[in-house]
Structure 1
Amino acid sequence: MANVIQDSNTTQYHLEDRLEGQHDAIAKMSWMVVKLAFEMLNATPQYIFSHRWGYKQNGRWSGMIDDILNGRADLGTNCAIYTERLDVVTYTDNIAPFKVGFIYRQPPLSYVANIFTLPFSTEVWLAIAACVSFSTVTLYISSKWETKYGRTQLDGNVSDAILVTVSAFSQQGCTLEPRKASGRIMLWVVFSTLMLLYAAYSANIVVLLQAPSSAIRTLTQLSRSKLTLAGNDVDYNHFVFGMYSDPVRVEITKKVKPAKGLAHFYEINKGVEKIRQGLFAFHSIVEPVYRRVEQTFLEMEKCDLVEVDFMMGFDPSVPVKKNSPYLELLRVCFKQIRESGLRSALNKRHQVQKPQCSQKVSAFSSVGLRDLRQVLFLMPYGIVISIIILVIENIYYRM
């Protein structure tokens, strides 16, 4: 058997002793199943090692596929099924199931939506606008009445009424206020009503600031997102990116391997840490990533993990040389091993499944400029509007 090891050279010394489980779990599990099949066939188990699954370059095969093609091995490690490989090998059974894909945490809701409009529905926002407009009109009428019958801070113009209403809407207060009882009662009602809305709004904002989104679920959405895309720095990733010609995968490949600058490839520990920090998608066999996630992530950080399949191929299976005399014998042995539950037992022993979100707990979440960008935009908007109003007032005064 040709065993493919890419994580660590020490794997060749720990194929069966369950040591260094974080390295090459697929190769270890494949070898254990194949060794059982060899013994069932009364064959002497032997192995060789390769550091590449096997890809065609300049018309020649490399790695494990080349070992099988040239008779150095009778079969290989569980691997992905590619059309080119079907010309030289036949696939049998899936003895060490694994997935390859992008793993990332869903970005915060504030990253993909304006959370400052989400606490209330459209109908509530319209009701608030109507309430504020009505309050402005009533305060204007009250101030006009006060200017006729007594002393007041309000001059009976629309701008003063708007200023008082906006102050109530933003819960800031205002130095201008009515003097008569009717105007003060009206102002108290406005502040009380908007205070209750303000409390409900603030409570919703706190929740939304910590809420993950569900905006990125497909390969197309991932290619259009602003997430940093990278790959595990192992041999197969340097070949996988660039094997496809469809626009979505080409766009992803350009982000992983940009034309200018360094390609985004990281070793497994650094890649998983970047996943934990967020806004980062890491392409790898998912098993070693989840193993590291279990060791380093908090419980609340496991709840928004998502994986997206980049290759979208058939389930990986064991390659055997075409027209091999052992093909049917191995196929029967693999099915017997699967039916007896041995493959399932080995799978649970060597592979880590996707971490389950046991409980969604609340935790401290810092707020950065990215979360407040819509609010910060109000400042330049306000400056522009105030300058426009200043120009209009000067033109009006001169005319």
Structure 2
Amino acid sequence: MQQTAIRVSKREASLHNCVMFATDALVHAYDVNSIDFIKSFIDNERKPTHLILNELCWPKSITVKLYNEIIRKGRRVSSTIKTSYSYQNHGIIFLLDLDCPRSEEAIQKAISKNLFGSPYRWLVLSGDPEKLRSSGLWETPALPDSDLVLAERSESGFTLTELHRSSKNSSMVSTPRGYYDTTLVDIRPHREMFRRRRNMMRSPLTMSNVVQDSNSTMYHLPREDRLELQYDVISKTCWINVHLAFQMLNATPRYIFNQRWGYKYKGKWSGMINDLHIGKADVGTNCLGTFMERFEIVTYTDMLAPFHVSFILRQPPLSYVSNIFSLPFSSNVWIATAVCSILAMFGLYITSKIEARGGKTASQLDGTMGDAFLLTMSAVSQQGCVIEPRKVSGRIIVFIFFTVLMALYAAYSANIVVLLQAPSNSIKSLAQLIWSKIPLAAHDVDYNHIVFSTYKDPLHTTVYRKVDPEKGNGQFYAMNEGVERIRQGLFAFHSIAEQVYRRIEQTFLEGEKCDLVEIDFLNRIDPLVPMKKGSPYLELFKVVFKQLAESGIRSAIIKRMLVPKPQCSGKMAAFSSVGLMDLKPVLLLMVYGAALSLTILFLEIAHHKLQVSKLEVGGWVF
């Protein structure tokens, strides 16, 4: 009996060892097949790869084999994320096996850390259909930017399926990706994520629109009726483009309105930027990225409606910045005129000297240099003189000299008339605008009360204090009043240029459009459409906006909605009044001449008295 018992126990032990060996062989073959599949999947991605083994419960020998196979392929593999820079995360693939006991914990941890969105990729293995159906995988926020692949084990290999949601509240969408049976077959129609996810299945997307000019915009904007374009034309143009983008993505358009673009005050954001920050909106209206704090919470995509915020003014008249009475002739002409005048003076002096030898009358030159100089200056200034030569030679000199100067004077006068109406080209930069002492003002809207104070350098601070001084009222005007002051001249108005140009086209004469100039204050950059940083729709909108631009649709909308800078079709003759500023050099010359005359008078009186006193002292009294 004892021997029989021993034989039975040995038989049972042998049977147990056979079963264990067969089970280990089966598990080993099963995991080896998984390793081959994972290698094929990574190779098919054609991207840099850093494989993260997420709570993997495989035997240690199989895990080590997986490590070795991945590293042999030149890829990285680890059990945790240890990247120094976020831009390296595009290579990370999380490997998760739903059959492992801690898979649900790993899913919840990934959801809390927002790891199911871009740039992370996921490969989820499953061999138990019952456990798959009850898995938390179906509750993950796998939005359009996610790359989540479910690989279901079968007897022949794996079946691959992509999982994603078009929005947070929509159901999970399953898309066949391919299969593996010793060879991976990829059946995706396109490898680009955008082309596979651009169908939003009528999921709602919201745009935040900035309305600052008129509340009527909230009525006209969704209707796209192109009415009252003088109000909020930038928001209306952006809305048309974004509405087309929604249609291209098969999304349901929604819209909200706000009164400002968004600024940070006491740690809190306002306006459109806050709508994006809290998730109330998915995309915004064009805005300038001049505030570095905005880059912490939003990402800029593309330009939909170009606009520029600048000082707009008419170039001041030429007489305001230059002495127009010296401009008609070049330096060489002035020098030639002076040389000819000197030669004529010496000619008159010689002829008068010869005439004086035969006697002279009261109206005749007495042969002195003073009389010749006086007659020459009378000719230069086109004035008459009581003294004149009597001989033919002297009269010929005077006649030729007067005739030449008369022609020169006619050309000079014609040029003066032109220059009185000509604009200057003296203001080309912000520094020149400040030194020109032209009054500065701004459109009375929200951004102008904030943007000036953001610059701390001396040049921009000087402009800020001119527009909004510490004492007194700030120089802020409504659009119509500001443009009218521009038309009157010597006034610079800070606003969105396209709005100003629309009003200029309605109120300016053709000749008044020729001297318009823009002076940039914000160091001009193109405005871009903001979206929340890390938005799952970011890549979709980037591509769609590029397609709108490349197809010419965006340009067509801009030409229909926005008014460019008015073109000068030709300088038209118009009446131009002459003010004291235009005659400033002449008035100064008269003042200097009067002062010089009085100085000479006093010197002559003093010289006369000195001579009289000398005669009295010498005993000569007449």
TM-score class normalised by the smaller sequence: over 0.9
Q: Report what 1:148 is aligned to.
A: 357
1:157 aligns to 2:368 (yes or no): yes
Q: Report what 2:248 is aligned to.
A: 40
**Bigger strand share:** 2
1:106 aligns to 2:321 (yes or no): no
Contact (CA 8 Å) 2:349, 2:369: kept in 1 or not? yes
> Which residue among 286, 289, 313 is the counterpart of 1:81?
289
In structure 2, the CA distance between the partners of 1:396 and 1:158, relative to structure 1 (3 Å rule), is: farther
2-structure distance, mates of 1:313, 1:109: 28
1-structure distance, mates of 2:587, 2:524: 45
Note the C-alpha offset of 1:359. 1.8
Q: Report what 1:330 is aligned to.
A: 541
Instruction: Tell which structure's C-alpha radius of gyration is larger.
Output: 2
Give runs of aligned pairs for residues 266-305 of structure 1, distance below 5 A: 266-305=477-516
In structure 2, the CA distance between the partners of 1:141 and 1:261, relative to structure 1 (3 Å rule), is: farther
Using the aligned pairs only, state the percent identity. 62
The gaps in structure 1 that reach 5 residues or longer are none
1:219 aligns to 2:425 (yes or no): no
2-structure distance, mates of 1:258, 1:161: 60
2-structure distance, mates of 1:81, 1:290: 23
Deviation by residue 1:226-258 (Cα, 9 ceiling, x = unmatched): 222111111111111111122221222222123
SS in 2 for 1:388: helix
2-structure distance, mates of 1:233, 1:383: 49
Note the C-alpha offset of 1:301. 1.3
1:191 aligns to 2:398 (yes or no): no
In structure 2, the CA distance between the partners of 1:111 and 1:76, relative to structure 1 (3 Å rule), is: same
1:366 aligns to 2:572 (yes or no): no
1-structure distance, mates of 2:408, 2:328: 10
> Which residue among 201, 204, 215 is the counterpart of 2:415?
204
Note the C-alpha offset of 1:319. 0.9
Note the C-alpha offset of 1:141. 3.0
Note the C-alpha offset of 1:347. 1.0
Contact (CA 8 Å) 2:275, 2:281: kept in 1 or not? yes
1-structure distance, mates of 2:533, 2:209: 18
Return structure 1 stretches of 4+ with deviation > 4 angstroms: none
Note the C-alpha offset of 1:109. 1.3
What is the one-letter code of the residue matched to 1:126? I
2-structure distance, mates of 1:193, 1:323: 80
2-structure distance, mates of 1:196, 1:319: 66
2-structure distance, mates of 1:90, 1:124: 62
Deviation by residue 1:334-392 (Cα, 9 ceiling, x = unmatched): 22222232222211111111111122222222211111100000121012111221222
Moved more, 90-99 or 176-185: 176-185
What is the one-letter code of the residue matched to 1:109? L
Q: Report what 2:182 is aligned to.
A: none
Note the C-alpha offset of 1:186. 2.1
SS in 1 for 2:254: coil
1-structure distance, mates of 2:288, 2:535: 20
1-structure distance, mates of 2:354, 2:552: 89
1:25 aligns to 2:233 (yes or no): yes
2-structure distance, mates of 1:28, 1:380: 59
> Which residue among 324, 327, 332 is the counterpart of 1:118?
327
Contact (CA 8 Å) 1:80, 1:313: kept in 2 or not? no
Moved more, 36-45 or 247-256: 36-45
Note the C-alpha offset of 1:393. 1.5
Q: Report what 2:219 is aligned to.
A: 13
Contact (CA 8 Å) 1:8, 1:23: kept in 2 or not? yes
Q: Report what 2:442 is aligned to.
A: 231
2-structure distance, mates of 1:254, 1:166: 51
Note the C-alpha offset of 1:270. 1.1
Of structures 1 and 2, the one with the larger relative CO (CA 8 A, separation 6+) is: 1
Contact (CA 8 Å) 2:360, 2:366: kept in 1 or not? no
1-structure distance, mates of 2:457, 2:218: 38
Deviation by residue 1:146-185 (Cα, 9 ceiling, x = unmatched): 3331223233333322221111111111122223333222
What is the one-letter code of the residue matched to 1:187? V
> Which residue among 355, 379, 384 is the counterpart of 2:595?
384
Deviation by residue 1:293-319 (Cα, 9 ceiling, x = unmatched): 111111111111111221114311111
Note the C-alpha offset of 1:27. 0.5
Contact (CA 8 Å) 2:308, 2:524: kept in 1 or not? no
Deviation by residue 1:108-162 (Cα, 9 ceiling, x = unmatched): 1111111111111111111111222222223233333333312232333333222
2-structure distance, mates of 1:237, 1:257: 10
2-structure distance, mates of 1:314, 1:187: 65
Contact (CA 8 Å) 1:320, 1:327: kept in 2 or not? yes
What is the one-letter code of the residue matched to 2:350? I
Q: TM-score of the superposition, structure 2-length normalised?
A: 0.62
SS in 2 for 1:45: strand
RMSD, aligned CA: 1.6
